[in-house]
Amino acid sequence: MSTSAPDAPSRVNLLAREKSPYLLQHQHNPVDWYPWGNAAFERARREDRPIFLSIGYSTCHWCHVMERESFEDERTAAYLNAHFVCIKVDREERPDVDKIYMTFLQATSRSGGWPLNAFLTPDLRPFFAGTYWPPAPRHGRPSFLQVLEQLADTWRLHRADVLASATDIHARLTELTAREGGTAPALAAGSLLAVMPALKDGYDTAHGGWGDAPKFPLPTHPALMLRIGVRRGDAEAVRMVLDTCERMADGGVHDQLGGGFARYSVDAQWRVPHFEKMLYDNAQLLDLYLDCHLVSGKPRYGEVARGIARYVLRDLTAADGGFHSAEDADSEGKEGKFYCWTVDELAAVLDPAGLALATRVFGITAEGNFLDHSDPDPLRGQNVLSLRSPPQSPAEAAALRSIREQLLRVRASRVRPHLDDKILAAWNGLMLGALARAAAVFDDPDYRASALANYAFLTTHLWDADSHTLYHRWRDGARDATQLLESYAGLLHGVVELYQMSLDATHLAFAVELAQAMIERFFDAEQGGFWQSVATADDLILRLKDDYDGAEPSGNSMATRALLKLAVITGRADFEAPAARTLALFAGQMMHMPRAMTSLWQAADFMLTPAMRIVIAGDPQAPDTRALLAAAHDVYHPHAVVSGTQGAVDAFAQTLPPVAGRATAYLCTGSACQPPTQDAMTLKQMLIGFATEGLPAA
């Protein structure tokens, strides 16, 4: 990562005033960067210049490469400054801006990624875009400067054509992104079975996962397959998911020493990652490994889940409870340097027997298995640790645990990768929900305390109770002014899960308040679905409805899933109705492209299946209540919700009393309940009976 131009460390541009770590990385570039906003727009209009918009994020490897090669280059910067108004955007702070121009790039080039570099008219309409361009022509690609020169000439000599093209593109984007309800087939229980072949298609039987390199975990896809496979008795689907998670856990994409997962693997075997670690990936993978742990009963999945939680609590948690966004791939300017090992580095730490075992287990070679081809002077002999040959005996397993501890201690003394320390409401909501689940599944007081601290941070710093407003980002003592669906939906998801772990009526009351604010600000009452941004966002040329899942679940899917659960807990039809209308709006796309909308399919599966309600009557803090809560969460049952009997729960739950003053659990569908129990093991056995009907052997 580069933080300053080496020849002019004191020079700063307008990005120096920003809070975003990504924008601050570019504050010393010789490019005259503006942040996204009226100052840049007005200058472009006043001087009749095109806008060069560059979008990335602080842990983006190729963003760092392009900065080093082009944005720190005086000649390139001078040309940019002379011919364009240059704007930098952190896609994690402004995903609504990124979504618009990424949609344009994907529609015109069938590709995408970051850095996203787009050229706009002064009124913000795009007319050309791409991703990374090298500093000199390479492999048939023009240099970045050649691209700039061509576009500057086109703007100067063919202005009318550019403006006409931008107008046409804008109209086409508006048409492409329009979402109108009323023509799609209604979803039904059989719809899930109909899309299962498409979900299985492309499965890598040799290495797990879907597709070839580069390979992303995309947790919502296996999570959907697991819930359908378990419920429908599809042993093949369950095996695909469990095997994928086993292979990912063995790979270098999984940090074998410190826990947690990198963003993706550059190969099909999960062995060599791009080393950045993202909060949203680890939140979703924590949920997925909890599912695998409950379905399979195998300790390995639980160990991986605990490793993810340890990583987040150790390395991504702020002192006041917020969760930081990400860690970089680079350390000391070299990708993977923090994580990789040479043979000599291992020999300096381990005795001969330990070195021999580590060499065999982790597949260590003198040549290494990772070379950064984007680096003009790459490190040599670098080994990413992955499980290539598991321990052969209990003694070897114990020795390997000792080796891991030794290596982790030594690694902790290295220069850590850059930490993107901004705190985002949406991503924190995902991790809050996953950590609350982990606290319940493992009955772990440390996880519970961390989840509660995170909730306190978010409700204190990002929620304005007077205006019922949730803000998107907190950093360096300040929040931003952006309001996004994904923030409301992500946090709502997290608080609903927190309530099911805590049974705290104040958590449920906040969830209700947040849900009402989300519906009021973002729901399209005419067509259904949720807008990505508020109606007053006047710096956007399109107002979109986020539907497809990428590395993160879409805003509409998070909103829909959380509202459906909240509707069951509270009995409120006004929460169920917008969720149902959202699914109706997207039903056609869901059937046509199920792999792109797996999180919405999870919402549909929940809506189309009678919910199992576990109502626990008793003091939420009492040991007998905690025991019943632990049992309720110790069985895989994605169609179950857990609630208490106090506060905003539905009227029927409020009538269910503790028996003889002791905590009592009721297992209900609608208003029909099984005989109540006060025994945690009995409750667990009752849930297993319901959850494993048709459960395949895993």
Confidence category of residue 589, pLDDT binned at 50, 70, 90: very high
Contact 368, 382 (CB under 8 A): yes
pLDDT tens digits for 608-647?
A: 998 999 999 999 999 999 999 999 999 999 999 999 999 9
How far CA 688 is from CA of 11, 242, 635, 636, 695, in Å, comes to 65, 19, 6, 8, 10
Contact 285, 272 (CB under 8 A): no
Q: How many angstroms separate the CA atoms of 474 and 454, rounded?
A: 13
pLDDT of 182? 53
- Mean pLDDT of all residues in 577-606: 95
The domain ranges of the chain are 14-177, 191-205+423-609, 209-315+323-421, 613-691
pTM of the model: 0.93
CATH 3.30.70.1250 is the classification of domain 14-177: no
For the cut 90, the answer to whether the pLDDT of residue 547 exceeds it is no
Q: How many angstroms separate the CA atoms of 217 and 237, rounded?
A: 16
> What is the residue-averaged pLDDT of the chain?
93
pLDDT tens digits for 211-247?
A: 999 999 999 999 999 999 998 899 999 999 999 999 9
pLDDT tens digits for 356-387?
A: 999 999 999 999 999 988 888 999 999 999 99
For the cut 70, the answer to whether the pLDDT of residue 330 exceeds it is yes
pLDDT tens digits for 640-671?
A: 999 999 999 999 999 999 999 999 999 998 77
For the cut 80, the answer to whether the pLDDT of residue 2 exceeds it is no
pLDDT of 189? 83
Domain formed by 191-205+423-609, architecture: Alpha/alpha barrel (1.50)
For the cut 70, the answer to whether the pLDDT of residue 4 exceeds it is no
Q: What is the DSSP string of 408-428?
A: HHHHTTSPPPPEE--EEHHHH
pLDDT tens digits for 450-493?
A: 999 999 999 999 999 999 999 999 999 999 999 999 999 999 99
pLDDT tens digits for 246-303?
A: 999 999 999 999 999 999 999 999 999 999 999 999 999 999 999 999 999 999 999 9
Q: How many angstroms separate the CA atoms of 29 and 94, rounded?
A: 21
